[in-house]
Amino acid sequence: MTTMSSAGHTRRDFLYVATGAVAATGAAATLIPLIAQMNPDASTIAAGAPIEVDLGPIAEGQVIKVFWRGKPIFINHRTKKQIEEAQNVNLASLPDPQPDSARVKEGHAQWQVLIGICTHLGCIPIAHQGTYDGYFCPCHGSVYDTSGRIRSGPAPLNLLLPPYEFVSDTRIQIG
Amino acid sequence: MSGHSLYQPQSPFMKWMERRLPIAGLIHSSFVVYPTPRNLNYWWTFGGILTFMLGVQIITGIVLAMHYTPHVDYAFNSVEHIMRDVNYGWLLRYLHANGAAMFFLAAYVHMFRGMYYGSYKEPREVLWILGVILLLLIIATGFMGYVLPWGQMSFWAATVITNLFSAIPLVGEPIVSWLWGGYAVGNPTLNRFYSLHYLLPFVIAGVVVLHIWALHVAGQNNPTGVEPRRDTDTVPFTPYATIKDSFLMIVFCILFAWFVFYMPNYLGHADNYIPANPAVTPTHIVPEWYYLPFYAILRAIPNKLMGVVALGASIVILAFLPWLDTSKVRSARYRPLYRQFFWVFVVVCVGLGWLGSKPAEGGYVIAARILTLYYFAHFLIVLPLLGLFEKTKPLPNSITESVLHGDVPLGASAPPPVKT
């Protein structure tokens, strides 16, 4: 106590502040594992690895549903009529304008691959329903065309596209 | 919880105990001799009913947890196992499921009573805010409990509600993934919801203790909104409040039992008896009735982010009620204009609930927008202005005067307590 002075900072003040700062940092650091444990774990991430899908068995006009990372992926083998309809749309009339060519891989216009989750509140749309022969969400009536673009209803965006590529003419890898 | 205890232990053991842990004295001063306004009506019994319902939910919940399996492959079947195989499992589950609905019913009555009689006003602001925190906690607890049976409605409720966070700019997607513990609602989600659903009721119980503490510091409001001034304004908690609370609790239990034994699935949805299927959404997703007004507000706003903001604001705004209501007079009994606006507000809330159960299309959306606008206008325009312009009726000088109307005792009113 002899070193205490009424004016200015003492060595003891410094030690108090330094101790408090270390304690606060330590307390904050303990939050990291407590919060991080809730993020996707290693097995979930491993299970979310890319998947390969054989397109061979999918007949023209058929829509199949596969799961990747717990999300339904729609693979639509589109007919010529559907492709033409999707391409000949006045883009200015769309709520979320996007040409059909930007939503399929070049040279594979017959294959439409989509994440089958309505962009409104996350419901699963039904294929081959609605006015555009595309997808119809039963929850709140959003209608998508064969390109997965929103045409009417409350959904704000087109159906999202998963990352995927063609490994051969009849096989794709999603992810 | 109210000052020095008047408790006089009789037996040698209680005398010994009182000098070491004066819990009997605490109970005596809080729930026996505690002075309550003599004019409390039956709307004041719902706090006790809520405490009782919390106990019912905790007890039935703990025993259900002994038979339930929180895993996506077993959860649905374990609930059916409770219904068919576990002794009295059907009863315990129906008590728990319908108990949640009864809990919300009592909570809403309790809140509307507070609004009608101005119970949130000085010096009871903290008491009211603790109540809003309790509302948020029971909403979260009820939602997570609804997910546990892992039926179709459970799964899609979890999907839609967690997706609300995706509306947050920039960090929305990482937050949703963090909540799920995966790329979609799945087993990690079910596990953590189970853990939190078990935890939160005890957090609620803790906040209830604070709520009752704050109540016993400020004292109860009463139908006149005039603070007790003399001894004749109050009666002891026991037997007066105890008996009144008990009576309505029994009446409330009759309603509860009617649902449990005669229409246990009336408030639920048939879709939740279909096991969760991530590939198919039920055609009509609706939350439980007690979330419908908030759901209607969410869907009334055409913008996703603003809808979520409005949903949150509709609850958070309640916490600011003590300062949004500018009137000095508490009770709607002496506020002729506020009394009308109060009932309009009740009708708007019920109307929003009805609209929340309807598909979000056409006229329903327009009506929901109008009512949502009114909901917020009630707090942000009506209440601040009413306090400035309303001509209130004269207040009685005391609770006793309002009850006795010139010293003629009414049959129904309690006699003044005997001075001790």
- CA dist., res. A121 & res. B248, Å (int): 41
Q: What is the pLDDT of residues B164-196, one digit of tens each?
A: 888 888 898 899 999 999 999 999 999 999 999
**For the whole model, what pTM was predicted?**
0.90
Q: Locate the chain B residue with the closest alpha carbon to A140.
A: B360
The pLDDT assigned to A2 comes to 53
Question: Is B37-405 CATH 1.20.810.10?
Answer: yes
Biggest alpha carbon–alpha carbon distance for chain A? 94
Helix H segments across B40-186? Answer: 46-65, 75-84, 89-116, 125-147, 152-163, 172-180
The contacts of residue B331 (CB under 8 Å, 6+ apart) are: B116, B117, B118, B223, B224, B225, B226
Given a contact cutoff of 8 angstroms between Cβ atoms, the answer to whether B399 and B226 are in contact is yes
- Which of B119, B129, B113 has its CA nearest to residue B50? B113
Q: Looking at the partner chain, which of A65, A72, A154 has a beta carbon nearest the beta carbon of B360?
A: A154
Task: Give Cβ neighbours of residue B85 (< 8 Å, ≥ 6 apart).
Answer: none
Report the pLDDT value the prediction gives residue A156, as an integer from 0 to 100: 83
Helix (H, G, I), strand (E, B) or coil at A171: strand
| pLDDT-based confidence at residue B416 (cuts at 50, 70, 90) | low
Q: Which of B72, B159, B162, B183 to mutate to test binding with chain A, by most A CBs within 10 Å of its CB?
A: B183
Q: Which bin fits A148, alpha (ψ -120 to 50), beta or left (φ > 0)?
A: left
Taking the C-alpha atoms of residue B82 and residue B72, their distance in angstroms, rounded to an integer, is 16
Identify the contact set of chain A against chain B, taking CB-CB distances under 8 A.
Answer: 35, 38-41, 44, 48, 65, 67, 69-72, 120-124, 137-141, 154, 156
Minimal CA separation from B369 to chain A, in Å? 15
Number of domains within chain A: 1
Q: Is residue A65 included in any domain, yes or no?
A: yes
Residue B87, helix vs strand vs coil? coil
A82 lies in a domain? yes
Check residue B407 and give its pLDDT. Answer: 47
Location of structure tokens 């374990």:
B78
Write the DSSP string, B146-157.
HHTT-BHHHHHH
Position B347 scores a pLDDT of 98
Q: State the residue for tokens 């639920």.
A: B268
Give the pLDDT confidence score for residue B89 in this predicted structure: 97
Neighbours of B154 (CB within 10 A): 25
For residues B163 and A20, is the Cβ–Cβ distance under 8 A? no
Could you tell me the residue range of the domain that residue A157 belongs to? 45-174
- Asked whether residue A144 is assigned to any structural domain, the reply reads yes
Distances (CA, A) of A51 to A54, A73, B325: 10, 11, 59
Alpha-carbon distance of B292 to B157, in angstroms, equals 13
- Separation of alpha carbons A64 and A75, rounded Å: 5
Tell me if A121 and B160 make a contact (CB, 8 A cut-off).
Answer: yes
In chain B, where the domains are located: 37-405
Contact residues on chain A for B171, CB-CB shorter than 8 A: none
Q: Strand, coil or helix: what is A67? A: strand
The continuous run of DSSP H or E covering B217 comes out as helix B187-218
Give the residue-averaged pLDDT of B142-152: 97
Positions of E strands within chain A: 51-54, 63-68, 71-77, 111-115, 126-127, 135-136, 143-144, 150-152, 164-168, 171-174
For residue A141, the domain's CATH number is 2.102.10.10
| Residue appearing with tokens 């202005």 | B385
Nearest to A61 by CA among A111, A117, A27, A99: A111
Contact B122, B218 (CB under 8 A): no
List of residues 6+ apart from B282 with CB closer than 8 A: A138, B152, B153, B156, B271, B274
Query: From the list B160, B279, B283, which residue is nearest A65 (CB)?
Result: B279
Instruction: For B29-71, write each residue's pLDDT tens digit.
Output: 999 999 999 999 999 999 999 999 999 999 999 999 999 999 9
Kindly state whether residue A13 falls inside one of the protein's structural domains: no
Give the residue ranges of DSSP H helices in chain A.
11-36, 42-47, 80-87
| Residue B113 backbone phi and psi in degrees, to 5 | -60, -45
Chain-centroid distance of CA B373 in Å reads 23
Q: How far apart are the first and last CA of chain A?
A: 67
Which SS3 state, helix, strand or coil, does residue A66 take? Answer: strand
Q: What is the DSSP string of B272-283?
A: GGSB--TT---S
Which residues on B lie below 8 Å from A35 (Cβ)? Answer: 178
The one-letter code for the residue type at A119 is T
User: Which DSSP helix (H) or strand (E) runs through B235?
Assistant: strand B234-236
Element (H, E) at B394: none
Question: What does the pLDDT look like over B299-356, one tens digit per residue?
Answer: 888 777 888 999 999 999 999 999 999 999 999 999 999 999 999 999 999 999 999 9
* Average pLDDT of chain B to the nearest whole number: 93
Residue in B159, B163, B181 nearest the CB of A41: B181
Helices B336-356/B89-116 angle, 10° precision: 150
Name the residue with tokens 């929901």: B368
Per the annotation, the verdict on A140 as an active-site residue is yes
pLDDT at B410 over 60: no
Task: Give A-chain residues touching B302 at CB under 8 angstroms.
Answer: 154
Name the stretches of chain A with pLDDT < 50. 1
Query: pLDDT band for position B163 (50/70/90)?
Result: confident
The answer for B181, left when phi > 0, alpha when psi is -120 to 50, beta otherwise, is left
The Cβ of residue B417 has, within 10 Å, a number of other Cβ atoms equal to 15
